[in-house]
């Protein structure tokens, strides 16, 4: 398993306030530059647990962009935490 993982390279960006317009441009430009040369997996995880809620559990991570990301290119999961809270995470290839 470690031999397989050695073939991957990792670049990490921690975006505290993703709603900012300049961050959206940075993210879009970075992905556009990397896509032609690399098989990219983007992993998104909420920064802190939030109260479980049926609508949030239904929407998960990529609800607003499901129309542009094929189902086989995305994975979403809700992980239960203590106190009725959960973290939502997603992966996009």
pLDDT digits (tens, 9 = 90+) for 8-23: 777 776 666 656 667 6
Classify the phi-psi angles of 60: left when phi > 0, otherwise alpha if psi is within -120 to 50, otherwise beta: left
pLDDT given at position 13:
66
CB 43 within 8 A of CB 14: no
Q: By percentage, how much of the chain surpasses pLDDT 90?
A: 31
Q: Each residue of 32-56: pLDDT tens digit?
A: 777 777 777 888 888 899 999 999 9
What's the Cα-to-Cα distance from 70 to each of 18, 60, 75, rounded to whole Å?
Answer: 22, 15, 10
pLDDT given at position 35:
74
CB 92 within 8 A of CB 62: yes
Q: Can you give the pTM of this predicted structure?
A: 0.61
Residue 92 pLDDT class (50, 70, 90 cuts): confident
Terminal Cα-to-Cα distance of the chain (whole angstroms)? 20
Closest CA to 55 of 83, 21, 86, 29: 86
């Amino acid at each position: 398993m470690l031999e397989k993982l050695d073939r991957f390279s990792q670049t990490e960006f921690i975006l505290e306030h993703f709603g900012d317009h300049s961050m959206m441009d940075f993210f879009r430009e970075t992905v556009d530059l990397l896509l032609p040369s690399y098989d990219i997996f983007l992993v998104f995880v909420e920064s802190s647990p939030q109260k479980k809620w049926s609508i949030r559990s239904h929407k998960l991570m990529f609800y607003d962009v499901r129309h542009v990301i094929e189902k086989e290119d995305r994975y979403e999961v809700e992980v239960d935490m203590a106190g009725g809270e959960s973290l939502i995470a997603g992966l996009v290839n």
